[in-house]
Amino acid sequence: MATKTRRRRPLTTQRVLDRAIALADKDGIEALSMRRLGQALGVEAMSLYKHVANKGELVAAMVDAVVEQFELPDDEPAWDAAIRRCAIRAHDLLIEHPWACGLALVPSDSRSVAGPRVRYMEWLLRRLREAGFSPELAYSAYHTLDSHIFGFTLWQLGHADAIKALEAGDGESVEELAARILEQMRPRYPYLAEHGEQHMAADAPDGKQEFEFGLDLILDGLKRQRRARA
Amino acid sequence: MATKTRRRRPLTTQRVLDRAIALADKDGIEALSMRRLGQALGVEAMSLYKHVANKGELVAAMVDAVVEQFELPDDEPAWDAAIRRCAIRAHDLLIEHPWACGLALVPSDSRSVAGPRVRYMEWLLRRLREAGFSPELAYSAYHTLDSHIFGFTLWQLGHADAIKALEAGDGESVEELAARILEQMRPRYPYLAEHGEQHMAADAPDGKQEFEFGLDLILDGLKRQRRARA
DNA sequence: CCGTCTCCTTTACGCCGTAAGCTTATGGCG
DNA sequence: CGCCATAAGCTTACGGCGTAAAGGAGACGG
């Protein structure tokens, strides 16, 4: 205390986790190294190992911290509205933390039977079964919904990355660059050019709307299936 | 020639590419390093750089080699049947080369306007538009279909990896281990346990069938949308 | 026989995760 | 207060990564 007042409060697992998430949000998961994380916390890399077992565990905890925020609304009686809200909130969170989606998709070290991911799975399956879905239909419905939530979002993030990579290349504005590429490909790939134009349009549906388009397609299909097999 | 007859035929870009794909198929993409690839070809790592610009380009070429094999059937007049075949063939290929899916999803260095990925996109968009989809509906339909093809497959591969990680852990058979975990989680997560049981059943739909379930849900929904907006 | 060109090797740099062992600060206790 | 066990953080080191830079060996046209 006398020496410097530079006594920083000691590290905690939570502080490490929070900083790691902040760093990954800012610079991407590939920029998250133990050395850089230590630096961000004013500490050497090896000090982190007092608080996390290894990088894999840290990353798993980061993903859990995101999935934990998934909304699992049980106040909503309609199964489709409940699942819709859950899916949309999940999508929002995964877009907010773009590194989480790919990592959640590959369960890495499935921490046996616990954690937020499992709670979310149980909730989704329960809502389906309680809504009257047969075990067989709930089985497939779960796969389709879960894969849409994580799969579509990862797909969307991939395309967002591609655009970001483009604008990093030149000083040119994205719009100019995109317009040039569009014209370049129009002769050989007219439909792709049309599609690209739609993306550039001011009123183009964004990722969120497209996520919901697919989600509603799936939910509608599931409703119909449930009726057909009832 | 006199010295040893050990004159191996020189490396080519194609030979490097083929070996890289074989290595990734066998040991996973994370085990593919320039040093290991060189070793597999009987050559030092740096020699590879005479034939590929860098690892990123190599990986991009690997992905292209897979996407190139996508079937884009134009002999099939029905749009839904054509897209169905394309999607299923793509799914097969991506399961066969499990490393490709995640890499294709994140376009990495979009090689401007060429390559098999672009050809596939153009084909899919064309089939939709020629089937009478409006530009707006084709826009969303494309997103949903493409994200299902790559997103669901990646999702499936992630779960397959998780299972593989499990069986690597113990000498125990997967069935025994799974049964034990199932019983462990049944009290707190009964629906998840039920779902797990379904996965263990001998006649459980496999990944391929589940992919088609979601695909048909989407295709049916798109048909209905097209009619509704016609 | 001599360039020169092509293919491949060597060496080295700066990253990475982390094992092992060390130093230093902290807090409880006499 | 002094003392010391313990916890927190630091240093060093290892093997692996992608790849820049420069070197060498064999083939080949002159």
Q: How far is A166 from chain B (nearest CA, A)?
A: 8
Q: What is the pLDDT of residues B83-138, one digit of tens each?
A: 999 999 999 999 999 999 999 987 655 566 678 999 999 999 999 999 999 999 99
Give the whole-number percent of chain A exceeding pLDDT 90. 77
Q: Which residues of B touch A198 (CB under 8 A)?
A: 135-136, 139
> Which residues 6+ apart lie within 8 Å of B4 measured at CB?
none
- A72 within 8 A of A123, measured Cβ to Cβ: yes
Report the b/e string of A133-171 with b at 16+ CB within 10 A: beeebbbbbbbbbbbbbbbbbbbbbbbebeeeebeeeee
Number of C-beta neighbours around residue B168 at 10 A? 7
Residues 48-107 of A with CB under 7 A from strand C: 49, 54-56
Per-residue pLDDT at A1 exceeds 60: no
Q: What is the pLDDT of residues A148-167, one digit of tens each?
A: 999 999 999 999 888 887 77
Asked if B162's CB is within 8 angstroms of A107's CB, the reply is yes
Specify the pLDDT at position A2.
Answer: 32
> Which residues 6+ apart lie within 8 Å of B137 measured at CB?
B128, B222, B225, B226, B229
Asked if A181's CB is within 8 angstroms of B112's CB, the reply is yes
Specify the pLDDT at position B127.
Answer: 98
Specify the pLDDT at position B4.
Answer: 36
Specify the pLDDT at position B125.
Answer: 97
Specify the pLDDT at position A3.
Answer: 33
Stronger pLDDT, B1 or B225, i.e. the higher one: B225
Query: Is the C-beta atom of B108 closer than 7 angstroms to strand D?
Result: no
Mutation target for A interface from B134, B144, B185, B223: give the one with most A CBs within 10 A.
B144
Specify the pLDDT at position B114.
Answer: 76
Query: Is the C-beta atom of B34 closer than 7 angstroms to strand C?
Result: no
Q: Which residues of A touch B224 (CB under 8 A)?
A: 220
Query: Is the C-beta atom of A129 closer than 7 angstroms to strand C?
Result: no
Straight-line distance from CA B51 to C1' D20, in Å?
16
Specify the pLDDT at position A223.
Answer: 96
Query: Is the C-beta atom of A41 closer than 7 angstroms to strand D?
Result: no
Query: Is the C-beta atom of B55 closer than 7 angstroms to strand D?
Result: yes
Min mean pLDDT across A142-151, A175-184, B63-72 is at A175-184
How does residue A7 score in pLDDT terms, banded at 50, 70 and 90? very low
Per-residue pLDDT at A138 exceeds 90: yes
Chain B nearest-CA residue for A143: B210
Specify the pLDDT at position B108.
Answer: 58
Closest CA to B98 of B158, B18, B20, B145: B158
Specify the nucleotide whose C1' lies closest to residue B58 (CA).
Answer: D18
Min mean pLDDT across A17-31, A76-90, A111-125, B201-215 is at A111-125
Per-residue pLDDT at B80 exceeds 80: yes
Per-residue pLDDT at B167 exceeds 80: no
Stronger pLDDT, A6 or B74, i.e. the higher one: B74
Specify the pLDDT at position B155.
Answer: 95
Specify the pLDDT at position B2.
Answer: 32
Is the pTM for the entire model greater than 0.75?
Answer: yes
Q: Which residues of A touch B83 (CB under 8 A)?
A: none
Burial class (CB in 10 A: 0-12, 13-18, 19+), A192: buried
Q: How far is CA B2 from the centre of its chain?
A: 47
Asked if B121's CB is within 8 angstroms of A192's CB, the reply is yes
Per-residue pLDDT at A50 exceeds 70: yes
Mean pLDDT of chain B: 90
Specify the nucleotide whose C1' lies closest to residue B55 (CA).
Answer: D18
Alpha-carbon gap, residue B152 to A50, rounded angstroms: 38
Alpha-carbon gap, residue B213 to B63, rounded angstroms: 26
Asked if A185's CB is within 8 angstroms of B113's CB, the reply is yes
Specify the pLDDT at position A5.
Answer: 31
Give the largest Cα separation in chain A, rounded. 77
Asked if A191's CB is within 8 angstroms of B126's CB, the reply is yes
Closest partner residue to B162 (CB to CB) among A110, A161, A189 is: A110
Mean pLDDT of chain A: 90
Straight-line distance from CA A51 to C1' D5, in Å?
21
- In the numeric block, the tokens 């047969």 are attached to A134
Beta strands in B64-141 (DSSP E): none
How does residue A168 score in pLDDT terms, banded at 50, 70 and 90? low
Q: What is the pLDDT of residues A65-113, one digit of tens each?
A: 999 999 999 999 999 999 999 999 999 999 999 999 999 987 655 566 6
Chain B nearest-CA residue for A163: B110
Per-residue pLDDT at A4 exceeds 80: no
Bases of chain D with protein Cβ within 7 A: 8-12, 16-22, 26-27
Chain A nearest-CA residue for B138: A195
Query: Is the C-beta atom of B51 closer than 7 angstroms to strand D?
Result: no
Query: Is the C-beta atom of A39 closer than 7 angstroms to strand C?
Result: no
Mutation target for B interface from A119, A153, A155: give the one with most B CBs within 10 A.
A155
